[in-house]
Amino acid sequence: MRIMFSIFIDFTIYVVPITLLGAHIDFNATCGVDLKMWILGLLMIVFVSNLQKLFMYLVVQYCRADRFLYGIVTSGIAFTILFAWLIYGNILYYSKNNDCMRQKPTRLLAYICLGYLYVGYIQIGYALSYAYIIPHALTKWWTLKSRSRAFQNQIDSIS
């Protein structure tokens, strides 16, 4: 249920604003940088990330034994790609060539890009906390697995 809620939140944060404001944005207008392509790339990354979450939902439902490893590996890849794209977005947005805020046809697109960057800052904080937890979770998992094997060996030797 949390996975589906996360997909809904991503849809609300990323797709709804661009859909509602799409009629007011001149996608053919140009400025010093190509924010339109950056936003399109971000939406594609979010779509792929949501596909990963949907597959995670299926793994949780049908392959319970593999869900931990699948979740860590695929979430790590998704966060790394998103992190790299947000760094690229920061470089684009704060570059000297960006005059999108000064031009009326591209101003709304620049505000949307800035909003997505702010959301990205929050996601980076979440990803960094996740990156801090992963080594501890793997250590705990390894310890529990080795203890389980040791206990199973003791039970087998008693029987």
pLDDT attached to residue 44:
95
Q: What are the structure tokens assigned to 33, written together?
A: 């940088």
pTM above 0.85, yes or no: no
pLDDT attached to residue 90:
92
Tell me the pLDDT of the chain averaged across its residues.
Answer: 86
Task: Specify whether the CB–CB gap between 103 and 72 falls below 8 A.
Answer: no
Q: Please state the domain count of the chain.
A: 1
The answer to the question of residue 148 being in a domain is no
Q: Which residue has the higher pLDDT, 117 or 68?
A: 117
pLDDT attached to residue 89:
93
The answer to the question of residue 53 being in a domain is yes
Q: Exposed/middle/buried for 49, CB within 10 Å: 0-12, 13-18, 19+?
A: buried
The answer to the question of residue 141 being in a domain is no
| 3 state DSSP class of 100 | coil
pLDDT attached to residue 43:
94
Tens of pLDDT, residues 86-98: 999 999 999 999 8
Contacts of residue 59, defined as CB under 8 A and 6 or more positions apart, other chains included, come to 66, 67, 70, 71
The answer to the question of residue 157 being in a domain is no
Say if residue 121's pLDDT is above 70.
yes
Q: How many residues appear in the chain?
A: 159
pLDDT attached to residue 39:
92
Tell me which residue range forms the domain holding 79: 2-133
**Number of neighbours of residue 90 by Cβ within 10 angstroms:** 13
